[in-house]
Structure 1
Amino acid sequence: MAGLYFEDCKEGLVIEHAIRRTVTETDNVLFSAMTYNCAPLHIDAEYCKNTIYGQRLVNSMFLLALIAGVTVQETTLGTTLGNLGFQEIKFPKPVFHGDTIHVRTQIVNARLSKSRNDSGIVTFRHIGLNQHDEVVCEAVRVGLMLLRPAQ
């Protein structure tokens, strides 16, 4: 398995994820269309010329999904039973077409499950940064992680 088992999730562990992703206009328009988000801030270039940013913003839900997705290979691939929730989601800076996003994850907390004997509960803090190392997204995620199988 590429993901971390519960025992690997030590509080304070920081992972700099290898995958970087340049966000494209196609990403933004398709995601907005697929989710029925017709906000002109995401899809209307003419409208956005008169906004405080002067251009379209990348859909924040796409950004959250991208940041969570980038983390999978190095954190939860094959070792999670599922997400239990997201908390404290913040978008401190806007993302535009052409921005390149990279992600850092920190293990905030880890405890054994009280109701299951095969897993533990891990709290991850995911931080998305743009090409200028400005934080563009922060999200705290809680996952149910498998214990390492007995040999």
Structure 2
Amino acid sequence: MQYFEDIEVGSKASFGDYAVTRDEVVAFAGQYDPQPFHLSDEAAAGTYFGRLSASGWHTCAMTMAMLVAHMKVHAQASLGSPGIDELRWLKPVYPGDRLRCETEVLETRRSASRPEMGIIKSRMAVFNQDDVMVMTFVSNGLIATRER
């Protein structure tokens, strides 16, 4: 189990392999982001996207799935997150893309009000199969300390 004291600023990880499918793009959009360019090729054809594209929120959800899978293998004493900063959707994500993640720890600090936890600030970058960065954000993670 990895605790706050085990996390070093500058440490990096690469993980994930998520196949983006047409059915999942349409199903997610239908439920959570029903804009026409996320629902059909015809509606997307005349837009910036040019064809059916995944919702940015779907890209976030796919990234979260990869992150949680990674955390299961590399067990962390995670306590959740108070939020993310600087979310950017840089390029469209399309059915047929394969996504992967790279993360780097930017900052660590022990919570002043909750000494049993630390806060880890990390930059997440998501890439497609062509190594094109499609999304970035800075996450703020809460993690248990070994010394309580």
Query: Given the two structures, how large is their TM-score scaled by the length of structure 1?
Result: 0.88
Is the 1:68–1:126 contact (alpha carbons within 8 Å) kept by the matching residues of 2?
A: no
Q: Which position in structure 1 is the counterpart of 2:48?
A: 52
Q: Which position in structure 2 is the counterpart of 1:66?
A: 62
- Count, aligned residues: 146
Q: Which position in structure 2 is the counterpart of 1:122?
A: 120
Structure 2 unaligned blocks of 5 or more: none
Alignment partner for residue 18 of structure 2, among 13, 21, 27?
A: 21
Q: Which position in structure 2 is the counterpart of 1:146?
A: 144
Is the 2:76–2:143 contact (alpha carbons within 8 Å) kept by the matching residues of 1?
A: no
* Counterpart secondary structure, 1:83: coil
C-alpha separation between the residues in 1 aligned to 2:99 and 2:126?
6
The one-character-per-residue Cα deviations of 1:85-135 (angstroms, maximum 9, x if unpaired) are 111001111111000000001111100010112110111111000001010
Q: Which position in structure 1 is the counterpart of 2:77?
A: 79
Q: Which position in structure 2 is the counterpart of 1:6?
A: 4
Runs of at least 4 residues off by over 4 Å: 75-78
Alignment partner for residue 106 of structure 2, among 105, 108, 119?
A: 108
C-alpha separation between the residues in 1 aligned to 2:118 and 2:105?
13
Give me the CA root mean square deviation.
Answer: 1.8
The one-character-per-residue Cα deviations of 1:21-73 (angstroms, maximum 9, x if unpaired) are 110011211111222x2201100221112223321111110101211331224
